[in-house]
Structure 1
Amino acid sequence: MRKKLTYGLLIAGCSLLSPPSLAAFIMNGKAAGNDAPLIKSTDPGAERFRGVGKLFAATHCTATLFSGEKTPDRNSPALVITAGHCVDSNMGTNQVIVDQAAPKEWKYIPDYFVDTHDNSHPVTVRRILYATMKQVDLAVLQLDKTYGELEQQGLFPLKLKKDIQAHNQSIELAHIPVMGVDENEQYLRHSLCHIKGQTPVLFESNTPWVWGTAYPVDCAGVAGGTSGSPVVEHEQSRIIGILNTTVTPGLTGCGVGRPCEVHNNQPYVNEGVSYFIPVDQVAMAITDDGKLDWSKLENNGTDILKRNGSWVTKSQVNGHDATWNITINDIANHIRYKAGLANETDCTDITGYGNSIATTTQPLSNLVISKKEGVYLLCVIHQDENGNWTPSSYASHTIHVIDDTPPKLKPEIEVEEKDDSWVVSPVSMPWELGEPWLKYGPLSSTDCEDKVGYKYYLMPARLSKSSSPWRFCTYGTDQAGNAGPVNKMDFETSSIKIDNYRVVAAWNFPLPKEEFLRRTGAISSEGKVFIDISDDKYLSLYTSPGSYEVPLKAGKSTAKVTLDVLKEHIPPVARTGINKEEKRDR
């Protein structure tokens, strides 16, 4: 628990005194829990986060007013920093957006405390100065107000800190989550958390996006809307990173909402963490007076690599060795590339790149990856139409996962019981298990282990009770197409009903008559079994005379009796032998 809060900014030449700790206030004044608490503008130290606001852009995000090392020119347009995917959630792996007009409806709303939001003034986002998902997930937006105009509203920029040394230290996150949050509580929140390590490679989504250095953190309350939030060191006010993604609970494998680290060249899900991207790249490009120096950023915005097919496959695809299956955009005349296991390949290091190859030959289309399981990284630098080569520090990159290991998970089976049938659905478990396969048939002749007869799941199966017993089978495949274990469920009727008629049943073993009566709630006279069950759930089960094999459940075992159904009321004389207690109960 901290004792004081240090401010790292100057206002009108006067140093701000350190106010009481907001973190200490939250720790002392509120019970610990899983959700990040809301903060008020009057809470101790809350003024530090006045420049953290809600961003209405391509999606709901959080953005922060920031500047360079020195006090910015009061007449310069103000800048906010957020996550790159907040600008375009479909941005390509190697795409860079530079100095484009922002859509007219984009807004940034600072001072987004729970007690001041009614007085907050939206600020129009004028331009997208920089946004990318290439190696980082960062964006810088220009507002239509100057730093001086925002200063008049009491809003002052935070500064960026580069070259952080992260060793499990405490951090703070100011954010505005909206997904799963009540509409009346979608305001600024504060999380106290810790850095839980560092990963050199992080990837996510269907593209997938691939980021360099990222830091896992254990911040509470992270949800949709938190993206773009500033991460600051404990007891500090400089931004060290931008929150970009989180590991969604309840899902499996790697995919959308499930970022994966690479450990020993294998994908690894670090359950329970979120990630932030360091702000070094932007920090080094911000001038002292708060402007963006594009010469220190990559400004080639075209993604030259186009993937054809999945980024995760078996080592053999359709009987052939798996290939990168990458097409090169015609903006590149020549390329040089290198590829290898992800933890052993550094795209920024020029060492290992091959000779120049004309892109007209599309050399990456049939380039074989490897027969060994693992995560592989492809690095490409290209020559443009002017003959200039991309430096290796800005190399385009993508990954491919070779996976020959079947998943261990089974699809779950959901059942909705109707009067006359069971409606049965297998449940996928993304991303380790995609949409499942299924088959069903008579219990006695359906072999779930035999893959013959399985079909891709499109709609639930409806199993008629009158045709039971049934066996339902399902299995799932992972993203590479490896089949997992089978899950199965048997369906048998265990009750005897008839529409407004009593059933006269000639007794037939295996159950003793007394046990049969106990399970069905029936009553009997000499030599016959009479079943009179008024529950209308199965009224349509037996609607015509005949002999029926009826299964009766007994714990995990089942037995059957033969019922001879007579389409007539049971004669009163047949009810002799019923004792007085039964008569009174009936």
Structure 2
Amino acid sequence: MTRRLLGGVLAAVAAFALVTAPAASAVSAATTTFSGTVALSNCSGSVVKPAGTPDTAPALVLSNGHCLESGFPDPGEVIVGQQSTRTFSLLSSDGKSSLGTLKAKKVVYATMTDTDVSLYQLDTTYAAIKQKYRVSPLELVATHPTAGTHIDVVSGYWKTIYSCSIDGFVHELHENGWVWKDSIRYTPECKTIGGTSGSPIVETATGKVIGVNNTSNDDGQRCTLDNPCEIDGSGNVTVHPGTKYGEETFGIPACLTAASEIDLNWAGCTLPKP
């Protein structure tokens, strides 16, 4: 997993992709900016809103489940409504400065089962953010992404945009006991590094969020920490050294209410339940 762990509190889990700051390799897409993205203490994230959610609703920040300040959810664990006071640095469109600090009210939803996602509900609304900072949220789409789509992985932590395409989808991605389904495999141009975890995967043509960046096979090992392996529908295991991955987010909007709350019992909601 490609998060960057900082500080003494996180030292106990520093084995999870603690990466020092190399010179990041990236290709920036002309149509993609940092507007709507945030930097966490150890990861990246974005302010997201499903189409149809009112601007008066509490704003949501999307990141990875393994970026939670409370630690990594166990396989099979689902977190709903956990109180949080986490802060996020809202970036300017060029990524060169912070416009201000956003504050979480709670973790609406988080898991590392089937997917690797965390959703924070903020103590402010989309409308208030737009009025104060002139920043609109990124739209979280409810449709499955397509192979070959040109994408940008926008890291608020590194203030870097990684540009590539969707190479394909993985039936199951296994890493150290966690299993993620229908994961997004990138083409080699996206050389994401530690700290890019939680970055929105933005469809370049539309500027909309179709996934969240989460891991890579760093050392060519098989199904170990920081070395996920691919499992196809027949159970065959393959390892792709250096390959980077993300998780789909199209299933999230069907589980969110107009008040930015999670309802896992809604018809059409397929997110894992506690």
Superposition TM-score, scaled by structure 1 size: 0.39
Residue in structure 1 matching 2:174, options 203, 206, 224: 203
Structure 1 residues 355-400: Cα deviation after superposition (integer angstroms, max 9, x where no partner): xxxxxxxxxxxxxxxxxxxxxxxxxxxxxxxxxxxxxxxxxxxxxx
Structure 2 Cα separation of the partners of residues 288 and 200 of structure 1: 32
Aligned residue runs from structure 1 range 487-526, under 5 A? none
Structure 2 Cα separation of the partners of residues 90 and 173 of structure 1: 22
The equivalent residue for 2:20 is none
Residue in structure 2 matching 1:142, options 121, 133, 147: 121
Q: Which amino acid aligns with 2:251?
A: Q
1:65 aligns with 2:47: yes
Structure 2 Cα separation of the partners of residues 148 and 163 of structure 1: 25
Q: CA shift at 1:272, angstroms?
A: 2.6
Of the two structures, which has the highest relative contact order with CA contacts closer than 8 Å and spacing of 6 or more?
A: 2
* SS across alignment from 2:255: coil
Structure 1 Cα separation of the partners of residues 143 and 112 of structure 2: 20
Structure 1 residues 475-531: Cα deviation after superposition (integer angstroms, max 9, x where no partner): xxxxxxxxxxxxxxxxxxxxxxxxxxxxxxxxxxxxxxxxxxxxxxxxxxxxxxxxx
Structure 2 Cα separation of the partners of residues 91 and 291 of structure 1: 20
* SS across alignment from 2:252: helix
Q: Which amino acid aligns with 1:278?
A: E
Q: Which amino acid aligns with 2:45?
A: A
Structure 2 Cα separation of the partners of residues 299 and 214 of structure 1: 15
CA contact (8 A) 2:231 2:238 kept: yes
* SS across alignment from 1:231: strand
1:84 aligns with 2:65: yes
Aligned residue runs from structure 1 range 380-529, under 5 A? none
Q: Which amino acid aligns with 1:245?
A: T
RMSD over equivalenced CA pairs, Å? 2.5
Structure 2 Cα separation of the partners of residues 194 and 70 of structure 1: 28
Residue in structure 2 matching 1:131, options 100, 107, 110: 110
The equivalent residue for 1:171 is 151
Q: CA shift at 1:160, angstroms?
A: 1.4
The verdict on how the C-alpha distance between 1:251 and 1:261 changes in structure 2, with shifts beyond 3 A counting, is closer
Percent identity over the alignment? 26
Structure 2 Cα separation of the partners of residues 61 and 149 of structure 1: 24
1:258 aligns with 2:248: no
CA contact (8 A) 1:228 1:242 kept: yes
Q: Which amino acid aligns with 1:35?
A: S
The verdict on how the C-alpha distance between 1:300 and 1:171 changes in structure 2, with shifts beyond 3 A counting, is closer
The equivalent residue for 1:110 is 90
CA contact (8 A) 2:27 2:163 kept: no
Structure 2 Cα separation of the partners of residues 164 and 124 of structure 1: 30
Structure 2 Cα separation of the partners of residues 110 and 238 of structure 1: 18
Q: Which amino acid aligns with 1:276?
A: G
Q: CA shift at 1:246, angstroms?
A: 1.1
The verdict on how the C-alpha distance between 1:38 and 1:234 changes in structure 2, with shifts beyond 3 A counting, is closer
Structure 1 residues 278-300: Cα deviation after superposition (integer angstroms, max 9, x where no partner): 11221211345654334335685
Q: CA shift at 1:71, angstroms?
A: 5.2
The equivalent residue for 1:55 is 40
CA contact (8 A) 1:68 1:287 kept: no
The equivalent residue for 1:489 is none
Structure 1 residues 55-97: Cα deviation after superposition (integer angstroms, max 9, x where no partner): 23xxx111111112125232x2211111111115431110000
Structure 2 Cα separation of the partners of residues 149 and 174 of structure 1: 23
Structure 1 residues 299-350: Cα deviation after superposition (integer angstroms, max 9, x where no partner): 853xxxxxxxxxxxxxxxxxxxxxxxxxxxxxxxxxxxxxxxxxxxxxxxxx
CA contact (8 A) 1:67 1:158 kept: yes
The equivalent residue for 2:130 is 151
Structure 1 Cα separation of the partners of residues 129 and 28 of structure 2: 24
1:190 aligns with 2:169: no
The equivalent residue for 1:161 is 141
The verdict on how the C-alpha distance between 1:243 and 1:282 changes in structure 2, with shifts beyond 3 A counting, is same
Q: Which amino acid aligns with 1:160?
A: L
Residue in structure 1 matching 2:251, options 281, 296, 303: 281
Q: CA shift at 1:209, angstroms?
A: 0.3
Structure 2 Cα separation of the partners of residues 156 and 114 of structure 1: 15
Q: Which amino acid aligns with 1:53?
A: V
The verdict on how the C-alpha distance between 1:213 and 1:300 changes in structure 2, with shifts beyond 3 A counting, is closer
Aligned residue runs from structure 1 range 348-367, under 5 A? none
Structure 2 Cα separation of the partners of residues 73 and 161 of structure 1: 16
The equivalent residue for 2:79 is 97
Q: CA shift at 1:147, angstroms?
A: 1.4
Structure 2 Cα separation of the partners of residues 300 and 167 of structure 1: 28
Structure 1 Cα separation of the partners of residues 206 and 244 of structure 2: 21
The verdict on how the C-alpha distance between 1:89 and 1:259 changes in structure 2, with shifts beyond 3 A counting, is farther
1:236 aligns with 2:196: no
The verdict on how the C-alpha distance between 1:251 and 1:272 changes in structure 2, with shifts beyond 3 A counting, is closer
Unaligned runs of 5+ in 1: 1-32, 178-185, 302-586
* SS across alignment from 1:201: strand
The structure richer in strand per residue is: 2
* SS across alignment from 2:46: strand
Q: CA shift at 1:267, angstroms?
A: 2.2
Structure 1 Cα separation of the partners of residues 31 and 203 of structure 2: 14
Structure 1 Cα separation of the partners of residues 167 and 217 of structure 2: 14
Q: CA shift at 1:253, angstroms?
A: 2.7
Which has the greater radius of gyration?
1
* SS across alignment from 1:150: helix
Q: CA shift at 1:266, angstroms?
A: 3.0
The equivalent residue for 1:217 is 186
The verdict on how the C-alpha distance between 1:201 and 1:77 changes in structure 2, with shifts beyond 3 A counting, is same
Structure 2 Cα separation of the partners of residues 69 and 288 of structure 1: 10
